[in-house]
Amino acid sequence: MSLSQVGKSDFEIMYDKYSGLLYRLALSHLQSAHDAEDAVHDVFAKYISTPHRFKDNVHEEAWFVKVTVNHCRDILRKKKHRNHLSLDEIHHLKTEEETENSGVLEVLGKLSERYKAVIVLHYLEGYSIDEISFMLGISVSAVKMRLSRGRDLLKNLMERED
């Protein structure tokens, strides 16, 4: 335990350890800072409400990633039935567009979920193909194929944007 973790609860340690990763993952899926924050809070609420015993840090991290991706998919499914923007979303649109990475995030948001998750985990979060395979519960060859196809799709979408 590091000196900065002395006096922190187990939850605070877990939140410090995973909240950034989960937020970036949720933001890439949901394309809304507000929804991404809500998703991260929901994942941690689920973590608190159900006792977990993980074999090791790898299993623990895989659980957080998988639950976050699945929760984002649920949110997006529910949003398909909603055809309006809330006032909060309208307010955040301008702010999000002003960030320097908004173009990349916007294009990334156009990818299907299967490609988006592996691209974010590999290129933005730095996970290996084996780690992504374990986290998402898919084969190594499936991760490689999704990365390859996702890169091609991203390239085509970026060229169209320019």
- 131: CB partners within 8 A, 6+ apart: 58, 121
pLDDT above 70 covers a percentage of the chain that reads: 80
The confidence band for 39, taking pLDDT boundaries of 50, 70 and 90, is: very high
- Count the neighbouring beta carbons within 10 Å of the beta carbon of residue 54: 12
Number of C-beta neighbours around residue 102 at 10 A: 15
Instruction: Out of 22-31, 39-48, 96-105, pick the least confident.
Output: 96-105
Q: Report residue 106's pLDDT band, with 50, 70 and 90 as the boundaries.
A: confident
According to DSSP H, which parts of 6-139 are helical? Answer: 10-30, 33-49, 57-79, 87-98, 102-109, 113-119, 129-136
Taking the C-alpha atoms of residue 149 and residue 143, their distance in angstroms, rounded to an integer, is 10
Give the residue with greater pLDDT, 80 vs 70: 70
The rounded radius of gyration (Å) of the Cα atoms in the chain is: 17
The CA distance from 65 to 21, in Å, is 8
Backbone φ and ψ for 61, nearest 5 degrees, come out as -65, -40
pLDDT band at 87 (very low <50, low <70, confident <90, very high): very low
Domains (range + CATH), the chain:
3-161 (1.20.140.160)
Residues 6+ apart with CB under 8 A from 67: 43, 46, 47
Q: Which residue in 97, 53, 43, 52 sits closest to 73, CA to CA?
A: 43
Whether 118 has a pLDDT exceeding 80, the answer reads yes
Give the per-residue pLDDT at 15.
Answer: 92
- Report which residue type is found at 44: F
